[in-house]
A and B are shown apart, each in its own frame.
Chain A
Amino acid sequence: MMYEFKVNQFAEEFGVHRNTIRNWINSGVLIAKEGPGRKYLMKFEDYRLLCEKFGREPYLHPENNVDGKTIATAPRSDRPPLVVSGEKSRLAQDPSWADSCLTCGTCAGLCPISGVDGLDPRKIVRMAVLGLDEQLVASDWPWKCTMCGKCEEACPVGIEFVALIRKIRGARNRSEVPGPIHRGVTMCLERGNNLGIPKDDFVFLCEDLGAELSEEDCRGFRTPIDVHGARVLVTVNSKIPYGEPEKLKWWWKIFYHAGESWTIPSEHWDGVNWGLFSGDDEAMKTVIGRIVDNMRRLNCQVLLLPECGHAYFATRLGLNKWFPEALKEFRIVTIFDLLLEYIESGRIRLDTTKHRMSISYHDSCNYGRKSLKAFGQAYFDEPRKIIRACSDNYRDMSPYGNSGYCCGAGGGTWSAPFAEERVFYGRIKARQISESGAKMVIVPCHNCRDQIFKSLNREYDLNIEVKYLWELVADSLMESGT
């Protein structure tokens, strides 16, 4: 039996944009042929499976030319009863990870990928309660979950979903970790950064970019590599030197104007820590240990993490957990702390006329909700203060702050091979952005930025500009002397 559909109608049904449906058709995720009258044809069974995958109820419309009766009588897969062994889950480490669950459904109602693969956060927790460890580890769902913590925010009994998901991920055979996540971890351990950039190449790149910057508008600038006694040690997200090295300059430009004393280490400069995503505590600890070594070696007072939610979260978490004594030696700061320090002390001056379009801000889960829970401190007000210093036309999305939605690419899913789910996940963020009416979205995280800029913007026809916060501030700098 064939199922006829129009792209628009299909998109509405799945809550995504028509672009996404076209992409699915073009990429073969959705096996459909174009038919007459701008309609597509697909096998009904394929449609049903797609519905299953995204947790939707098959929706029959007269235009679909499907006989409702045949569907109703179609045999429902009668699942055999699951024999409860009574064995306790080894994944759930504490009653608060699963056993305390009220099965109230709050998490499943909120989670943007509830229903995908027939699972949702509540089912994951339930499986842990029933001790179904093997099935949990075998499932891809925990790798599609972005560990955004939206479920945790509202959970009335405080189930530790993220910890559980991370434990499940960590229990998977390393060779079966989806996508490049585990490769990134190994690479970082072996070569010092996630993308394996050799030391010489990195140093050369930094010096070269520094020279460029001094020629452009920061006269006398030299990239301070391995400077002993600098106040601030700066870590970098390896994606920047690898893919968009120009963007390093924005940050340096701000330092230049602020007259900061700073340095980049020549080795172990990567702030990224994918052990957080893969559930690999050992790797996570090693990477943070190297940063601590750098801080000690170069005798810096302030550790600056890159504009990257997970990098900050993982590093601060790891420092608290494994290197509490190091935190007595130096202070860990985010770009928000530092930028606000510059703005409030008048070290940099910003021009609000350079960005006249309406601007909104996307809360990174790691800087926001998850930090609030883990550290009792979130960055909700600070970025907004910074943006307001650069623009008179700021508006929030709804909801925002602690209740904000994940971009859809957190938890390493930007790199995972589950693109359809990631785009599907992002439909809520896309709706929030378009409802806000903003023409520019400031995104303080590499994953979020890539998802919003490279994926959602196209999939959902958002027509927005996306900037990092540092980029916005650098672009708003009043040139010295003016």
Chain B
Amino acid sequence: MTEGKKIGSVMIVGGGVAGIQAALDLADSGFYVYLIEKTGAIGGTMVQLDKTFPTNDCSMCIIAPKLVECGRHLNIHLLTLCEVTEITGVAGDFAVTLRQSPRYVDMNKCIACGICTDVCPKKIDNDHDSGIGKRRAIYLRYPQAVPLKYQIDPAACIGLQRPGTCGFCEKVCDAGAINFADVEKIHRINVGAVILAPGFEVFDPKPSGMWGYGTNANIITSLQLERYLSTSGPTEGHLKRPLDGKPVRKMAFLQCVGSRDENLCGNGYCSSVCCMSAIKEAVLAKDHVPGLQTSIFYMDMRTHGKGFDQYLEQARSEAGVRFVRCRMGGVETDGESGDLRLRYVNENGRQIEEFFDLVVLAVGLQTPKHVLGLAHVADIKLTADNFAATSDFAPVKTSREGIFTCGAIAGPKDIPQSVVEGSAAAAAVAELLAPARNELTVLPKFPEERDISGEEVRIGIFICHCGTNIAGVVDVKVLAEYVMTLPDVVHVDRKLFSCSQDSQESIIQLIHEHRLNRIVIAACTPRTHEPLFRETLKVAGLNECLLEMANIRNHNAWVHGNNPTGATNKAKDLVRMAVAKVTFGQSSQAIAVPVFQKGLVIGGGVAGMTAALNLAQQGFEVHLVERTDTLGGNALNIKYTWGGEHVRTQVAKLIDKVIWNDRIVIHKESIVTGVAGFIGNFHSTITSKNGETKVIEHGAGIVAIGGEAAVPSEYSYGSITGVVTSVQFDKLHELKEKHVKLAKRFVFIQCVGSREEGHMYCSKVCCTHSVQSAITLKKENPDRNVYILYRDMRTYGQRESLYKEARKLGIIFINYELHGKPRVTGRGAEIEVEVWDHVLHQPLLIAAYMVILAVAIRPRQDAEKIGTLYKVPVDGHGFFHEAHGKLRPVDFSTEGMFVAGLAHYPKPVEESVAQALAASARAATILAQPEVKLDTIKAIVDDEFCDGCALCIDVCPYHAITLFEQAAVDGEAPKKLVRVNVAQCKGCGICQGTCPKRGIYVVGFTMKQVVAQLQAALAG
């Protein structure tokens, strides 16, 4: 690592989800962040999306809390409308020059009332709606924008184009925020590191003229479809034909528009995300239009991510999405009807002509021009596909030291992978700037909490419209009028988006104004949004427990969309219950416990070692537990990464660094056998091979126990010697075994043990691996014949170049379907492989010398055991289950525990490394704090009623309750009582339910509250 000056601040260029994640992780672990955004508000592409795969969560809803958190984080400084023009200096000490375009609206004065937009006479295409809706020249990028400040589009503004004219906005702005004289500003900021997260743009299908885009409005891009499906989009989620407003009955998705195409656009790579997003859109569109028929025209279904193949199968079998394996080279308009004619060949090779109402072009991702400019300014190297060049072992490091990347700048990727990289970049920066941690940051300060014990109950209710998510079903006006009549309610307010930043400010103001002391938010789920509103109460000087959320969206508007009256009544019930409960709410203080500032990493493979090393270099002591006697894990079986880096050399370097790092304690031939404690305060017992046990105290833990290769049970494996697994083959090949050396004809069979009943997931690495092996075989001897029998060629992202190279070398790819697996039979020294050719529609017979089975990756057997110890779940396949597939990809729902590598899901080296770094960054947000605040929802013993019967002790799943004897006081006999270890208590309430004496209760769920809530429910 470089010596010299280290500045404890970071500049993150790009306010999309990757940049946001990096910003939050860094700001939470002691570094000051400048978050630079090119547009007027952060959020990136994710805020344009309707719902996200595979969880079908509302995209805006899950990112909104993060936006708000960024917006009000004390250690994040947001700079919008900014572009980087120069980066000088060296790692640890950069000087970055920014050019900030004028906003023409004074951010300090604008109160985002929106009157300016109402009077603005100029309408132009709305880029937030991907061009399908309109916006004014003075506008807000989107309703929940952070910062929530209007901006003027100088190219559209009449007043700016012709000074002295128009100016309506200026006249109506009471705040006096409009400033036509605003000018460009230049900022020079010194930071220790830079993270580039500028994202991507979608391919523009118009110039090629190939897909009729721009000639018929019924041909739209996938991003436009997102806006049509979104309730906050220009049609409020109603899907009709853009050309004539006619209903959409048949809809086609054309894949690979602007991807895997060197002819029409030069984007030879695969954009990785479009298959999955098309499936999701096809499924969701069916929800919008009953009876809608959706067809996806594709060449390879690349659903290689976690949960994606299952989603695909459900889309096919349950939602009835039709999949047609044929790429489409044109869309034609049929006469005057506006219908779209597609011609394709079906699976029997017949040419079919079919008509559709709407055609969606699944447009690919590419690096925009301005990002190429940024790369030039930053002086970093790019790949042939114009993405940032990184190493597979350092996937977020650019060619210039101290400059890092995350998200789509380093290759097309989906949201989870972008979030992983956001955290990974944070880890890499924290490693570089560790000596300067906490030097430039400030600690959050909340106003002193108001003592409400003497106050009469004053309830404030905030009803969220959630755009039209709620207000489109529930009659919010009627609801507001009704809830105003409930006892003790002194104020009711409605919010378009109660989670937006301006709403928080307004809630705070109203709390002060009306001296509210109980708050009900009637909106969505507390699971995603309660932390946000609790924070808001704290800022307003109220105890965070005085909040209750009524979920009138997920539990109501979403599920009763076809019954608005019923939904309105149910909303009344839900709010009434919340009011009844919050009335008896009491203040309660979160308990702070000191953090053991040490990490535990389980698993000494590439992921585990990377995480351990990063934590150590960030300055934390780490215990690394490895089951075997060697470090390296599965990577020891791989020769090259897809990018061509020699794995063993890199792993050897990594092992060296780990071994020689003073802060890492390695426990070989050891396993975790017992766990006690909680976030910040774990005690893990490890047992070595010879039975010795040690207890390790640690504040956070990372599970990186890896995976293993499946053992095939088909294709005559085990009975024909020439049929081997890919792992075996690599060994034989490396040893120059004579059968391999002399063999003339090789057949690779893909998906052996993957993507079938019982194992409906993709092992992700095998396509690339087989292609690489095939290339090597062919390069060694061009006279060899190599065949790869595959189901979908999943050389995603920039790996596509390998697939192309393989074809050019003459390797023959044959596509088989699950119902027509190849037949492998032995015949003397040769092996006969019979497979149906997907192009000629006839069986082929290949006399092979060797058959190589690309075997699946399975989770380790002991995964479930470790899961039980740390109370972290595994999924149906046995891989660890993260807290949220989209936005918390390395966190467990059990706080303080994280996951990385194959234990989470099959993945290649660079994704394991990124995930390991991400887990490390997330762990560091805990380890960097001297203490952690625990949840306030805890069991409390009421000494008056507890008689020490100890029934609760037996049922507590967290072993948080103990019995103790109270010494005799004032002549009374000594008394047996229970005590709760609040740190261990999860607030589950089983004790409360078990106690026959009402001697124990959970904060926020007292008997009084629950009874009041039930009575309120029945009162309707």
Contact = CB atoms under 8 A, between A and B. Distances in A.
Interface of A: 15, 55-57, 79-84, 86, 88, 95, 99-111, 114-115, 118, 120, 122-123, 126-127, 129-130, 153-158, 398-399, 401-403, 435
B344 A109 contact: yes
Given A105-B345, A108-B351, A158-B263, A95 B810 contact: yes
B808 A99 contact: yes
Contact of B845 (A81, A99, A105, A155): A81
A226 to B, nearest CB: 46
Interface string B340-359: 00111100111101000000
Contacts of A108: 326, 344-345, 349, 351
B845 A153 contact: no
- Give the top 5 A-B pairs by smallest Cβ distance, nearest first: A154-B329, A105-B326, A104-B327, A81-B843, A86-B785
B210 interface: yes
A114 B345 contact: yes
A154 B263 contact: yes
A403 B349 contact: no
Contact of B842 (A82, A109, A402): A82
Given A84-B787, A86-B785, A101-B807, 5 more contacts: A104-B299, A107-B329, A108-B344, A158-B263, A398-B332
A126 to B, nearest CB: 4
20 contacts: A57-B350, A79-B843, A82-B837, A82-B842, A83-B847, A84-B844, A84-B845, A86-B745, A99-B807, A105-B345, A108-B344, A109-B343, A109-B345, A110-B330, A123-B840, A129-B812, A154-B264, A156-B327, A399-B212, A435-B335
Contact of A81 (B212, B325, B834): B834
Interface string B237-269: 000000000000000000010001111100000
A120 B209 contact: no
Given A100-B808, A398-B333, A122 B844 contact: no
A100 B844 contact: no
Interface string B188-209: 0000000000000000000001
Nearest to B814: A103
A77 to B, nearest CB: 10
Given A106-B328, A115-B350, A126-B839, A403 B210 contact: yes
A80 to B, nearest CB: 8
B1010 interface: no
Contacts of A126: 837, 839-840
A115 B351 contact: yes
B804 interface: yes
A102 B215 CA distance: 29
B351 A95 contact: no
Contact of A105 (B332, B344, B787): B344
Interface in B335-378: 335, 342-345, 348-351, 353
A107 B343 CA distance: 10
Contact of B807 (A79, A95, A105): A95
Interface residues of B, number: 52
A213 B211 CA distance: 49
Given A103-B838, A105-B345, A127-B840, A153 B350 contact: no
A402 B842 CA distance: 34
Contact of A15 (B353, B744, B837, B839): B353
Among B299, B329, B843, the one with the most A-chain Cβ atoms within 10 Å of its Cβ is B329
A403 B330 contact: yes
Contacts of B556: none
A398 B340 CA distance: 12
Contact of A56 (B329, B332, B350, B812): B350
Contacts of A86: 744-745, 785
A156 B349 contact: no
Contacts of A95: 807-810
Given A105-B344, A123-B349, A403-B209, A81 B844 contact: yes
B813 interface: yes
B778 to A, nearest CB: 11
A82 B263 contact: no
B846 interface: yes
B100 interface: no
A156 B810 contact: no
A80 B261 CA distance: 35
B350 A105 contact: no
B744 A103 contact: no
Interface of B: 209-210, 212, 215, 256, 260-264, 299, 325-330, 332-333, 335, 342-345, 348-351, 353, 744-745, 785, 787, 804, 807-810, 812-813, 815, 834, 837-840, 842-847
Given A107-B329, A109-B343, A402 B209 contact: yes
B837 A105 contact: no
B264 A156 contact: yes
Nearest to A108: B345
Contacts of A104: 256, 299, 326-327
A84 B328 CA distance: 29
A281 to B, nearest CB: 25
Contacts of A79: 842-843
Contacts of B209: 399, 401-403
Contacts of B815: 103
A399 B326 CA distance: 21
Nearest to B255: A104
A88 B345 CA distance: 27
A111 B350 CA distance: 12
Contacts of A158: 262-263
Contacts of B212: 399
A154 B330 contact: yes
Contacts of A127: 840
A399 B332 contact: yes
A101 to B, nearest CB: 7
A3 B433 CA distance: 83
A424 B978 CA distance: 90
A205 to B, nearest CB: 44
A83 B343 CA distance: 32
Nearest to B344: A109
A281 B209 CA distance: 34
Nearest to B815: A103
B846 A84 contact: yes
A155 B351 contact: no
B284 to A, nearest CB: 26
A12 to B, nearest CB: 11
Given A105-B327, A403-B210, A100 B349 contact: no
B795 to A, nearest CB: 11
Contacts of A83: 844-845, 847
Contacts of B351: 55, 108-109, 111, 114-115, 120
Contacts of B837: 82, 126, 130
A157 B349 CA distance: 20
Nearest to B334: A435
A360 B916 CA distance: 63
A155 B804 CA distance: 14
B842 A81 contact: yes
B210 A110 contact: no
B256 A156 contact: yes
Most A C-beta atoms less than 10 A away, residue of B260, B839, B843, B845: B839
Contacts of B834: 81
Nearest to A106: B329
A127 B812 CA distance: 12
Contacts of A399: 209, 212, 330, 332
A32 B350 CA distance: 25
A130 B345 contact: no
Contacts of A155: 263, 329
A367 to B, nearest CB: 18
A127 to B, nearest CB: 7
A307 B842 CA distance: 44
Contacts of A154: 210, 263-264, 329-330
Contact of A55 (B344, B350, B844): B350
A275 to B, nearest CB: 28
A435 B335 CA distance: 6
